[in-house]
A and B are shown apart, each in its own frame.
Chain A
Amino acid sequence: MKFLRNPEREVFYFRTRLLAATVLMLGGFALLLARFTWLQVVRHQDFYARAEQNRISLVPVTGNRGLIKDRNGVIIAKNYSAYTLEIAMDQVKNVDATIDQLSEVIPIEARDRRRFHKLIEDYKRLDSVPIRTRLTDEEVARFAAQRYRFPGVELRARLFRQYPLGDTASHVLGYIGRVSEADEQRIDQFSNPADYNGTEYIGKIGVESSYEEYLHGTTGFEQVEITAGGHPVRTLSRTPSEPGHNLILSIDIKLQELAEKAFGDRRGALIAIEPESGDVLAFVSKPTYDPNLFVDGIDPLNWDGLNNSQDKPLLNRALRGTYPIGSTYKPFLALCALELGKRHFDSVTYDPGFFWYAGHEFREGGHIPKGGYGNVDLHRAIVVSSDVYFYVLANDLGVDAIHNFMQPFGFGQMTGIDLEGELAGVLPSSEWKERRFHQKWFGGETISIGIGQGYNSFTLLQLAHATATLANGGVVMKPHVVRAIEDPRTGALKPTVPSESGRIKLNPLNVDFIRNAMVDVNLSGTARAAFVGAPYHAAGKTGTAQVVGVAQNEKYNENKIDERHRDHALFIAFAPADPGAKPKIALALLVENAGWGALAAAPIARQVFDYYLLGKVPAGPAPIDEHDEPLKTASTTEATAKR
């Protein structure tokens, strides 16, 4: 190895080194230039696009949700704008401490905290969670002044759903709530899932859910320039959103309110239908709940209260409650017998107060004269509600003939109403029993069918629908709660339902006969007390549905039985029922555990009819008739009872 000693050589070597360094430098700069050319010329388009992508963010702008109005234009669901205070979860480290500090500025109640924590639990991917909603102007001002203290806490103006009538008609309306994971799967099935970008709320139940796609509207977009931190700088362009369609319900909200009040604090359900159109005029399920509680996330306390209540206020009894319908089934059976020629107008059956079948005694129910009603024809059998007449009749008809006749009326099937979650119930037949229990049908089981008991299990909606069909003379109109869909910009109305969905071939004379008998029920029969002095003719039929089986030789004593095991009171009716008149309203109603149908149920129907036909507003809940007189002159004996 050679070392440098000669200064001349040293300088020469140094120059070589300088040359080498220069080459290194030139090489380095050439490499940089090549890199710049690669980035700025060859890949320019790509990077330019990425820079644009960086800076431009598409912000969805959801359209205003459609309004919901009743048939007379009364608004029952609307939107209003209010401020919420929201916490950006990724920006706030100690959420609880922040809330504590916030509560020094604006009131935050325990309920708000509970709801906040439930929201976080239920919707884990929520990045901005509201701690307070509907701030007053003063609260907004107070927070704005202290905003600097709360990084990650933001005031947002949001549209809220509001149900101005509170708990009225909540089982029809339903409510909206935050989009959950299950909802997202549902959205994927919608015709335009992209419309749900940026949507936070969705209909959960009721028409809010079944007409979700109409109510929702079209989502627009804003092109917004944003910083790396996501803060908007300016809006570049706008594609406006379109508001959702308004719903015009067939419900008459005044009638609905009145019907709900008529129940007082009793549980039950009532469906009133306009027979001619299938419009559901009132859709009552009691108790109700306040849908406003659900809109910005229900707090756990309220939720537990509703969910665990013995009264089950969240259960839609009209749509999802299936009951034996008791004697309200009789007019349909009578019609069946006439149509099939098994009975004539003057066919008489002797009613001694009991009926023996295969060693079992089937007794007459209700407050009957001693020794039964004696010789009873079909008309009187309906008016006084003779059980024995219909035991015999059912036995003569047989279960399958009954099934085949009742099916077109919609018993035991979904009516296809425009609400989700409808139950079908059971219209029994021998084939059904074979399928369900792998057992043969026993003749004795047909006997109870004759008085609407046994395997019969229908919804109140089905019963109201069948009553409307009867009032219509066999023309079947599919029931619906939404009458028309309104375009919010043009005001154009689109009806939701075809004019006629079916027709049952019935002899008009038979229909008239049944109607007349039902009119007499209200004039001189089981419901006469409720319709005393009515200036119109209404056709009706009372019913009492057994909740628990009572042994044949046991007495049904209302006072001794647990309130919730008492019989359900039922009533069906339509009016006006004068010959040739077109009935304007048909209804079916049930009061849970209220005992005899004539006492508890019929007075509610009277109030509904008085209002709908005469515009008469009652002073209070429907009265419960104290007692009913025997229909015969015979002495009033104790009620032999069951069912």
Chain B
Amino acid sequence: MNAPLPQRVGPWLRSRLPVLDPVLLALVGVLSLLGLVTLYSAASDHPGRFGEQLRNFALAGAVMIAVAGLPPRMLKRLALPTYTVGLVLLVAVLVAGVSVKGAQRWLELGPLRIQPAEIMKLAVPLMLAWYFDRREGAVGRMDFAVAALLVLVPVALIVRQPDLGTAMLVLAAGFFVIFFAGLPWLWLGVMVGGAVALVPVAWTLMHDYQRNRILTLVDPMSDPLGKGFHTLQAMIAIGSGGIFGKGWMQGTQTHLEFIPERTSDFIFAVFSEEFGLIGNLVLLVLFLVLVGRALQIALQASTPFTRLLASAIAMILFTYTFVNMAMVSGILPVVGVPLPFISYGGTALVTLGMACGMLMCVQSHRKLVQM
């Protein structure tokens, strides 16, 4: 117990290794490596970011290993408190949050600066999985109503900040749990139909900047120097990359600072410009296998809780990847969604580490006998 820290890390790791899913670990490792390589190029004018990102990876890795070692019941036990604390913090943000760039998203707790909405990305699916697990075998229509409420309350609070991107991701996370919990298809159809019908209503409720993002998506050339600049420059970066890309550190759009937010939300444009369609294909396959593996873990999960949690996480990973790539390549409006493992940013990485840890936890506690 009194041995110095480095000497303690080895035995601890060895004790944990069996719980780490090798397939997931390899995929996460390769993606993280690609992310670091891309970030090195994207952040050539912010040399500090590469080092910070290494540190973020270390932190996220530690979180992943720690979570992977927890027994699923511990996760189950943590669901309600995490969700409650998250909700309280969300209310606190609205009351006493710090405004950054016109949105009130941050809460200052002493030296810590946290973004409670981030917690909800995992707290909501955790909470819902816990809820449906409790109602196992007796899930009725009221349960879906309760679940919907559990999702919509935090989503509404996040929308108020406003942070449409995160709200959408939390909504998606909650939706996937409900979907996997057996939401009747008919209801699903009604919801999709209703959502389509609500588009005009949503339009009137949106902030101007949100509307502009959608407008410029329809026609980014309409205002190439104003609202459409980000999307257009990202599209130019991707398109100019061609099949083989311009080569690592050779992207002109990247290095001449035409790509906005090139280390965080738009880092995919950097990757795409420098590695081309081939690189994109590799990345797509990696993410495809990652999500596929997560779905497989869900398939093999032994309890409703782990099943729902793993499947929801799988689809969260897919949603992040899809929304980010679609946004950067100009088929979705610009929302603040990072590309998993590639974008610079500590919070997102830690969340991802936690999610992967949960997947591994589920995997290591799967049924011993395949169904």
Could you tell me which A residues sit within 8 Å of B by CB distance? 1-7, 10-11, 13-15, 17-18, 21-22, 24-26, 28-29, 31-33, 35-37, 39-41, 43-44, 46-48, 50-52, 54-55, 225-229, 233
Q: How far is the CB of B229 from chain A (nearest CB, A)?
A: 9
Minimum Cβ distance to chain A for residue B126 (Å): 18
Name the B residues within 8 Å of A21 (CB-CB): 176, 179-180, 295, 311, 314-315, 318
Chain B nearest CB: distance from A17 CB in Å? Answer: 5
Q: Are B180 and A25 in touch, CB under 8 angstroms? A: no
Known: A29-B287, A40-B272. A228 touches B256 (CB 8 A): yes
CB < 8 Å: which of A14, A28, A39, A40 contacts B182?
Answer: A14
Which secondary structure dominates chain B's binding surface? helix
List chain A residues, Cβ under 8 A from B257.
227-229
26 A–B contacts from the bound complex (CB under 8 Å): A7-B136, A21-B295, A24-B315, A24-B318, A25-B288, A25-B295, A25-B318, A31-B326, A33-B284, A35-B330, A35-B331, A36-B280, A36-B281, A39-B330, A40-B241, A40-B276, A48-B240, A50-B236, A50-B239, A50-B240, A51-B258, A52-B252, A54-B236, A55-B253, A226-B256, A227-B258
Contact B314–A15 (Cβ < 8 Å): no
Interface residues on B, range: 35 or more
Which of A3, A7, A39 has most chain B Cβ within 10 Å? Answer: A39
Among B136, B180, B240, B272, max chain A CB count under 10 A is at: B240
Assembled-state Cα–Cα distance A228/B284 (Å):
29
Interface residue B51 (Cβ < 8 Å from any Cβ of A): no
Assess whether A1 is in contact with B236, with CB atoms less than 8 Å apart: no
Could you say which of B252, B291, B315, B329 contacts A36, with CB atoms under 8 Å apart? B329
Tell me whether B252 and A55 are in contact (CB under 8 A): yes
B243 contacts partner chain A, Cβ-Cβ < 8 Å: yes
Q: Does B369 contact A (CB under 8 A)?
A: no
Complex alpha-carbon distance, A183 and B284, angstroms? 58
Interface centre among A18, A29, A36 (most CB of B within 10 A): A36
B25 on interface, CB distance cutoff 8 Å: no
On whether the beta carbons of A7 and B292 are closer than 8 Å, the reply is no
For the complex with contacts A3-B182, A13-B182, 13 further pairs of A-B residues with Cβ separation under 8 Å are A3-B140, A18-B295, A21-B318, A28-B318, A29-B322, A35-B330, A36-B281, A39-B329, A48-B239, A51-B253, A52-B240, A55-B256, A226-B256
Give B234-250 interface residues, CB cut-off 8 Å to A. 235-243
Q: Given the interface contacts A3-B140, A54-B258, does A18 sit within 8 Å of B239 by beta carbon?
A: no
Which residues of B lie under 8 Å from residue A35 when comparing CB positions?
326, 329-331
B136: chain A residues within 8 A (beta carbon):
7
Q: Is the CB of B277 within 8 A of A41?
A: yes
Taking the complex as formed, is B304 at the interface, i.e. its CB lies under 8 A from any CB of chain A?
Answer: yes
B140–A39 contact, CB under 8 A?
no
| Given A3-B139, A13-B182, A17-B180, A47 contacting B322 (CB threshold 8 A) | no
| CB-CB nearest in chain A for B304 | A10
Cβ contacts under 8 Å, A4 to chain B: 137, 139, 182
Query: CB < 8 Å: which of A7, A17, A29 contacts B288?
Result: A29
User: Which residue of the partner chain A has the closest CB to B322?
Assistant: A28
Whole-angstrom distance from the CB of A21 to the nearest CB of chain B?
A: 6
What residues of chain B lie closer than 8 Å to A50, measured between beta carbons?
Answer: 236, 239-240
> Which residues of the partner chain A approach B20 to less than 8 Å between Cβ atoms?
none
Cβ–Cβ < 8 Å partners of A25 in chain B: 288, 291-292, 295, 315, 318
- B76 proximity list for chain A (CB < 8 A): none
Q: Is the CB of A17 within 8 A of B287?
A: no
B residues within 8 A CB of A226?
256
Judged by DSSP, the binding face of A is: helix
B29 proximity list for chain A (CB < 8 A): none
* Residues of chain A with a CB closer than 8 A to B299's CB: 15, 18
Give the CA-CA distance A55 to B237 in the complex, in Å. 12
B251 nearest CB neighbor, chain A only: A51
Closest to A225 in B: B256
User: In the assembled complex, how far is the CB of residue B250 from the closest CB belonging to chain A, in whole angstroms?
Assistant: 12
Closest A-chain residue to B298, C-beta based?
A18
Q: Are B326 and A47 in contact (CB under 8 A)?
A: no
For the complex formed, measure the closest distance between the CB of B43 and the CB atoms of chain A, giving whole angstroms: 15
The docked-state distance in angstroms from the alpha carbon of A3 to that of B284 is: 37
Closest to A233 in B: B256
CB distance from B171 to the nearest CB of A (A): 16
Known: A18-B311, A32-B325, A36-B272. A51 touches B237 (CB 8 A): yes
**A494 and B258 alpha carbons, distance in the complex (Å):** 51
A contact residues around B311 at 8 Å (CB): 14, 17-18, 21
* CA A26 to CA B318, docked complex, whole Å: 10
Judge whether B277 and A36 touch: CB under 8 Å. Answer: yes
CB pair A32 B329 closer than 8 Å: yes
A54 with B252: in contact, given A4-B182, A17-B182, A47-B239 (CB under 8 Å)?
A: yes
- Verify if B205 is at the interface (C-beta below 8 Å from A): no
Contacts of B141 in A (CB 8 A): 1, 3
Query: What A residues does B287 contact at CB under 8 A?
Result: 29
Please tell me if the beta carbons of A39 and B235 are within 8 angstroms of each other in the complex.
Answer: yes
Q: Are A7 and B137 in contact (CB under 8 A)?
A: yes
| Docked CA distance A96–B237 (Å) | 40
A375 vs B241: C-alpha distance when bound (angstroms): 104
Residue of B nearest to A54 (CB): B258
A-contact 0/1 string along B283-327, CB 8 Å cutoff: 010011001100100110000100100010011001000100110
Give the chain A neighbours of B233 by CB distance below 8 A.
54, 228
